[in-house]
């Protein structure tokens, strides 16, 4: 399968057409942004880490019965995926207080929740991805009630599978962001990526941050954290 014209360039990935109208190729970049694209940088090797880790995790999720967009990894940075129309919702699941949750509700980071939280925000950098509830999403026609129910069920299942998988790697899954897409027939599938860019990973023993917060918060050792997560996930196979 070969790349044809570039269809889109996002902050972390490029998307190319293929000869098949139902398939596209995503190419992961080393570019990193934060705070709606206002902070910019490069994380060397990030594209390859995110591509390989996301494909591996989505493979695990597919085995657990969650439909995903992944079709075939082509090389370190590029993957064939099903072409979707992205549902413009950033779906966030949290197991432990951190980030915007801690800030918004005035609590410290690191408080475990009895049950995971589910929230979504409107995927729109110009508006700073505002938090939405279901009735807002319906009013804005971002998704149907049925789609939102499907997305909520799938996101909570993803959390169960990933929490257990990462526990086996000595990593606490604090929170993460998912995006979903619609196939040409309207079926909802898990899309975008699952990587240190889109999750918070804390070392289970030391609490050390092993994700993009190292870049967002200028903590240093950013590349090293991505490589460490690669070793944790792939073990001897990386």
Would you tell me which residues interact with ligand ASP (CB under 6 A)?
Answer: 11, 33-34, 36-37, 125, 212, 216
Q: Which does 92 bind (CB under 5 to 8 A by kind): ligand TMP, ligand ASP, none?
A: ligand TMP
Residues 159-198 close enough to bind ligand TMP by CB under 6 A = 175-177, 198
Nearer to ligand ASP, 22 or 125 (CB): 125
Nearer to ligand ASP, 37 or 110 (CB): 37
Nearer to ligand TMP, 23 or 88 (CB): 88
Please report how close the Cβ of residue 124 comes to ligand TMP at its closest, in angstroms: 11
Nearer to ligand ASP, 125 or 224 (CB): 125
Among candidate residues 78, 82, 105, 80, the one with its CA nearest the CA of residue 94: 105
Q: Which does 99 bind (CB under 5 to 8 A by kind): ligand TMP, ligand ASP, none?
A: ligand TMP
Q: Does 200 bind ligand TMP (CB under 6 A)?
A: yes
3-state per-residue secondary structure call for the chain: CCCCCEEEECCCEEEEECCCCCEEEEEECCEEEECCCCEEEECCCHHHHHHHHHHHHHHHHHHCCCCECEEEECCCCEEEEECCEECCEEEEEEEECCHHHHHHHCCCCCCEEEEEEEEEEECCHHHCCCEECHHHHHHCCCCCHHHHHHHHHHHHHHHHHHHHHHHCCCEEEEEEEEEEEECCCCCEEEECCCCCCCEEEEECCCCCECCCHHHHCCCCCHHHHHHHHHHHHHHHHC
Among candidate residues 233, 166, 222, the one with its CA nearest the CA of residue 30: 222
Q: Which does 33 bind (CB under 5 to 8 A by kind): ligand ASP, ligand TMP, none?
A: ligand ASP
Residues 78-107 close enough to bind ligand TMP by CB under 6 A = 92, 98-101
Nearer to ligand ASP, 78 or 90 (CB): 90
Positive or negative, the CA dihedral 232, 9, 177, 103 is positive
Q: Which does 220 bind (CB under 5 to 8 A by kind): ligand ASP, ligand TMP, none?
A: none
Q: Does 226 bind ligand TMP (CB under 6 A)?
A: no
Q: Which does 83 bind (CB under 5 to 8 A by kind): ligand TMP, ligand ASP, none?
A: none
Query: What is the total count of residues that contact ligand TMP (CB under 6 A)?
Result: 11
Q: Where on the chain is the footprint of ligand TMP (CB under 6 A)?
A: 92, 98-101, 175-177, 198-200
């Amino acid at each position: 399968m070969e790349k044809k014209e570039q269809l889109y360039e996002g902050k972390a990935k490029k998307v190319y057409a293929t000869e098949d109208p139902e398939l596209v190729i995503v190419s992961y970049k080393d570019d990193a942004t934060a705070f709606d694209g206002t902070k910019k940088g490069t994380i060397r090797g990030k594209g390859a880490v995110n591509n390989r880790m996301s494909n591996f995790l989505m493979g695990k999720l597919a085995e657990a019965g969650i439909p995903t967009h992944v079709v075939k990894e082509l090389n370190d940075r590029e993957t064939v995926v099903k072409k979707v129309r992205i549902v413009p919702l950033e779906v966030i699941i949290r197991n432990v207080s951190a980030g915007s949750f801690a800030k918004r509700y005035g609590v410290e980071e690191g408080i475990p929740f009895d049950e995971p939280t589910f929230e979504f925000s409107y995927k729109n950098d110009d508006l700073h991805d505002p938090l939405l509830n279901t009735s807002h999403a319906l009013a804005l026609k971002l998704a149907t009630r049925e789609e939102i129910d499907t997305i909520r069920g799938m996101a909570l299942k993803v959390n169960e599978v990933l929490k257990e998988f990462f526990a086996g790697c000595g990593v606490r899954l604090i929170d993460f962001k998912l995006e979903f897409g619609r196939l040409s027939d309207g079926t909802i599938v898990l899309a975008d990526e699952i990587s240190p860019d889109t999750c918070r990973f804390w070392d289970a023993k030391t609490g050390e941050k092993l994700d993009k917060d190292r870049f967002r918060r200028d903590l240093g050792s950013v590349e090293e954290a991505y490589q460490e997560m690669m070793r944790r996930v792939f073990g001897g196979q990386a």
